[in-house]
């Protein structure tokens, strides 16, 4: 079964403004079976890419990734996002 991934890039928000969200989102992601693979400590951008914070989270399946996003715990974390919040967020299926 192909894995599922959350891929997100935060073009307008610095990590310091995401502390309240991170405090709630981390446990919600782990409870949903997610594993953080990268928090964008170093980003090398090419073409139309940007160098701001990028996050990659792995799940055992696409369905698990979608369920974690739709979970009550993660939706509560979304409420903690700051004003002016902007990100490019995608749930994608991996390759077997």
Domain residue ranges of the chain, discontinuous segments joined by +:
4-93
Q: Quick one: pLDDT at residue 42?
A: 81
91 neighbors 6 (Cβ within 8 angstroms) = yes
Q: What is the predicted pLDDT for the residue at 69? A: 98
Mean pLDDT estimate for the chain: 90
- pTM over 0.85? The answer is yes
Q: How far is the CA of 50 from the CAs of 16, 54, 57, 88, 96, in angstroms?
A: 18, 9, 19, 11, 28
Domain 4-93: which topology?
Alpha-Beta Plaits (3.30.70)
Mean local confidence (pLDDT), 22-29 = 94
- Residue 22 tokens, joined: 């991170």
Range list of β-strands (E), 13-95: 35-38, 54-59, 88-93
The count of residues in the chain is: 96
pLDDT tens-digit map of 31-49: 999 999 998 778 888 998 8
């Amino acid at each position: 079964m192909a894995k599922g991934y959350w891929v997100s890039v935060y073009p307008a928000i610095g990590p310091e403004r995401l502390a309240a969200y991170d405090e709630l989102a981390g446990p919600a992601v782990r409870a949903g079976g997610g594993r953080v693979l990268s928090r964008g400590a170093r980003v090398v951008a090419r073409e139309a890419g940007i160098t701001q914070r990028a996050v990659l989270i792995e799940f055992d399946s696409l369905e698990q990734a979608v369920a974690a996003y739709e979970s009550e715990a993660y939706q509560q974390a979304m409420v903690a996002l700051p004003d002016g919040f902007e990100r490019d967020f995608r749930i994608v299926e991996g390759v077997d």
